[in-house]
Structure 1
Amino acid sequence: MSTTENALASAEAHSAHTYHPLPVVVATADGAWMTDVEGRRYLDLLAGYSALNFGHGNRRLLDAARAQLERVTLTSRAFQHDRFADFCTQLAELCGMEMVLPMNTGAEAVETAVKTARKWGYRVKGVPDGMAKIIVAADNFHGRTTTVISFSTDPEARADYGPYTPGFEIVPYGDLTALADAMTENTVAVLLEPIQGEAGVLVPPSGYLAGVRELTRERNVLFVADEIQSGLGRTGRTFALEHEGVVPDMYLLGKALGGGVVPVSAVVSSAAVLGVFRPGEHGSTFGGNPLACAVALEVIAMLRTGEYQERAAELGDHLHRELGLLAGGDAVTAVRGRGLWAGVDIDPGLGTGREISEKLMDRGVLVKDTHGSTIRIAPPLVIGKEDLDWGLDQLRAVLGG
């Protein structure tokens, strides 16, 4: 057996089958490229679901991590450390907010937002105890914890995990009327992805997000924006909501905040919202640890230059122009997205999204399928135009264009 076959067989035998990865075993990576254990190179057009917005092995981020590794990596929140205040201050400023509650993973940020919204609802809005409701959108993806899958409409994420956590109302994504009708005096928050990633990079109708902001403000309801995949440069702006000039009550951040080096997530909001917590009411041993803060501070500094947002906007325009040409043919039925992020619906007659992904893998390009015959394209923001064009050429070849 080859090195790849041995690694795949061992993983199959000894790891729980919660993923169905493509049969490639990565050994090293740099920028937008990965190399497997056999020495074959692949163009990464997934970027760790946006966790690798700044590319593999980004030198600034690795240098920041190395410097911090030599100093201190963990204190727990039982003690203060010298990177924490800067991290919270600078992330709050980047978001135009006042307070930060750091966690580790995106799902933890969502769970924290649920707890925050409920506590705000009881202590500030005056909702009767145990009656708080949070409105979410159908086809959402906010994580895989027990609470989060309780308001999922994806059978694969939800089936066989009941009993489910109550307190959520599901409405169609992009439907303002349904959202307004679902609101009651006990509604404490509306939790949405500005662009639904796992659903196939679904962009809501123009004006929808601004309408959500107006409705939530009128009804004294928190607008919670899950920008874990869509945020931090991916769409050509720091936050996807900026495309409609919208500022939520709460940002949920993760993935790219850790630069692909360490898991970092955060809930960012006003003092009026996050100020509802008191010591002991919520926390995380690793949340806001020195290593995470050091890397995230470098991410924030990189975002402040605007160069990554500008690059995502320019290359994103190019990406969507080229994909739009494919959509005019027989192979591609629809293209959606914004910035360096696209969902491409393939004619089912040409194969499933998985089959198309495997064919692209054979040509040295890595993407991920979702929902039948849809593939997602989300390269690192540092990708070169020539590399992006080469990847698109491989897609055309696979589709017979």
Structure 2
Amino acid sequence: MSNGSLPMISGFADDRFAPVARAFRENFTQREELGGAVAIYHGNRLVVDLWGGTRDAASKAPWQADTITLMMSVAKGISAICVAMVADRGLLSLDAPVSQYWPEFAAEGKEKVTVREALSHLAGIPVTDLAKPGDFYHWDRMIPAIANQKPLWPVGEQQVYHSSTLGFIAGELIRRVTGKTLGTFLREEICAPRGFDYFIGMSEAERARCATIVASANNVVNAAKREPRDSVAYRMWQAVPVEEDYNSTLWRQNEIPSVNGHGTARAVAGIYNAVISPGPNGEKPLVSKEMLAQFVTEQRARGENADKGRLRMAVGFMLNSPPHRPMGPNPEAFGHSGAGGSQAFADPVAGLSLCWTTNKMHDGGDIGPRAAAIIEAAYASIA
């Protein structure tokens, strides 16, 4: 911080996006922000790239241009992009059974579960009853636990957010058909060629640039750990040790594509822009329009209570889901929010891609007032 209570904010915002710069500053002066960043692409051009505040509450170290931070389930949207790229190459079909690529997944009556169903929160396996605390850091333990999980209800009947398992399912499908882990695929096929600073599984040097997360008491993961042990919420997160504060070396270094993507807002906004726009040197978008259309088509459960309190889900992506998970005015916007408030999406109608992130987690299941203010300001800027 500088000038008393005023935050140190760096970067730039085009004049047209002055409302975003104002909302970002007001997050610090009015909404108790600690540290964070926002980036926006509009018309295939980076128009906002701001960062500020404190990356570590104890040391008061300032947020830097290259500070990277945990964005929790934002990683699911990035994982979906990776799967879409693999499907684009003909290595994966959404309507094929998962077991065609991952035979062990057929256990406990899941032999007919399609890739589409598994990535659309329809497979009935949001929990891992065979996993123990600490297994979340170990791919070779989580994958058998998911493969051998019995669905909690008939496949397709309920759409319950597979918050802890979805990224592992996506990652194992990628590993089976490409031989690469999802984190390696992300580095080699997206981030390194295009200069994006986002990681699922980090090196020691990358971990040194991390902002320190301040976990709120009632973010969805922490709250789930206090639920009854037989509840779906508790069973969903039982593989995460209760002492995890989202800053441990184990959390940062391992590939946990459901929730542990770390990066800059600039990188994530750039990745989403690269999905809907050509690259600066004429590169094709990361995903073809035809394949992207399949992945952003809303998927629904068949049960009689299918619409009760639901978020709008596509294949791996979350769709614009106001009032709790808004992505602006256009229903076609797609992306993924993260526990604690981080938000990232692309809006192909407006030609806009946005990422806002923070190191101070927000309680509850909505995106919170800081992200909401940024999104409202972004659309006010282009109105």
TM-score by shorter chain over 0.5: no
TM-score, scaled relative to structure 2: 0.28
- Give the structure with the larger helix fraction: 1
Query: TM-score scaled by structure 1?
Result: 0.27
Structure with larger Rg: 1
